Amino acid sequence: MRYIRQPGPVEPERHFISLTDAVPISIELESGQCVLPALAAALAKLGAMSAYLSVQDANVRQLEFVMPAPSPDDDHTAWWSETHDLAGSGRIEEAGLVFGWRDGGPFIHCHGSWTNEMGKQFAGHMLPDRCIIKDTATFTGWMFPDARFEGQFDPETNFTLFQPNGAAADPAANAALVRLRPNVEIGQELAKICKKLGWAKAEIHGLGSLIGASFDNGDTMESYATEFLVRQGLINLKGPQSGANIDILIVGLDGEIMHGPLLRDGNAVLMTCELVLLRSA
């Protein structure tokens, strides 16, 4: 498994958890609405402190995004590219959105894939304040009334990153907001969290970055800096094959896009993973 040293001190705690209850929601955005302010207004009406939403097959008038890039300095291990624009209408193929708070206002961290008018596919980090819906689009997922992702400065990576925060919750809560730190193996760390919580099974939703990617079919993404979206994930601590099965979409430094189930025990976190675990047993 690959390892990249971050610029700051390594903290002993390698994950953070806030227990909460996940309430299923569905939000429709209309033509002409900008994703960030429109979702923030809808979630405020619902009383949500935070949310995780997904959207598929949504037509857009405008979409801007960035991809991973080498760091321009020695103070970070990676950076982001110049802003890319679909240069007209396009389509969100699939995307996941972590809604929380940063610098005192609503903020969305979004990874996914999209196509332009010619059908060319791109992937990366969408800028939700620069994405305009073309036709009605439905965002589905869960809101969290008593916990939220909140931007906090992280000395280890030298970035401001989403961190789960919330009041002490009932141990019977059905969800956990999770952040993973760099250089932990994603599946092993999530299995460790479920074991700590006494959960036998949990769904995995969310996004993050890995140091390249190794897939269970033998394919490998060599790019050391990536951004990924969980397409489907499950932790099962019962039986001889206990552990985490995670299917992702991922993009690397050169814009290469890959997808599929990850190789178990072989994929390290680069900067962070912002995930939601939904207890299923």
Instruction: State how far the Cα of 196 lies from the Cα of 177, in Å rounded to an integer.
Output: 14
Domain that includes residue 83, residue range: 23-144
CATH code of 224's domain: 3.30.1330.80
Whether the predicted model's global pTM rises above the 0.85 cut: yes
Q: pLDDT tens digits for 250-261?
A: 999 989 999 999
| CA atoms lying within 13 Å on the CB side of residue 147 | 27
For the cut 80, the answer to whether the pLDDT of residue 169 exceeds it is: no
User: Which pLDDT score, from 0 to 100, does residue 212 have?
Assistant: 98
Q: Which of 144, 174, 206 is the last residue of a domain?
A: 144
Count the domains in the chain.
2
Q: Are residues 50 and 165 in the same domain?
A: no
**Are 196 and 239 part of one and the same domain?**
yes
Residue with tokens 């699939």: 94
Strand partners, 178: 17, 275
What is the pLDDT averaged over residues 139-154? 96
Please check whether residue 14 lies inside any domain of the structure.
no
pLDDT for position 39: 98
154 and 121 part of one domain:
no
Task: Please give the Cα distance from 230 to 37 (Å, whole number).
Answer: 24
Q: Is 170 a residue whose pLDDT tops 80?
A: no
Same domain, 136 and 181: no
> Has residue 50 been placed in a domain?
yes
Helix (H) or strand (E) holding 122: strand 121-126
Residues 6+ apart with CB under 8 A from 211: 2, 3, 4, 183, 224, 225, 226, 267, 268, 269, 270
Show the tokens assigned to 254. Answer: 């050169």
Looking at residue 240, its pLDDT comes to 81
pLDDT value of residue 168: 61
Per-residue pLDDT for 85 more than 90?
Answer: yes
C-alpha closest to that of 51 among 76, 20, 29, 72: 20
Burial of 201 (0-12, 13-18, 19+ CB in 10 A): middle
> Across residues 19-45, what is the average pLDDT?
97
Q: 273 and 151, same structural domain?
A: yes
pLDDT at 216: 97
The backbone torsions φ and ψ at residue 193, rounded to the nearest 5 degrees and listed phi first, read -65, -45
Q: Show the DSSP H helices in 131-253 as ranges.
A: 186-197
Answer yes or no: is 15 within a domain.
no
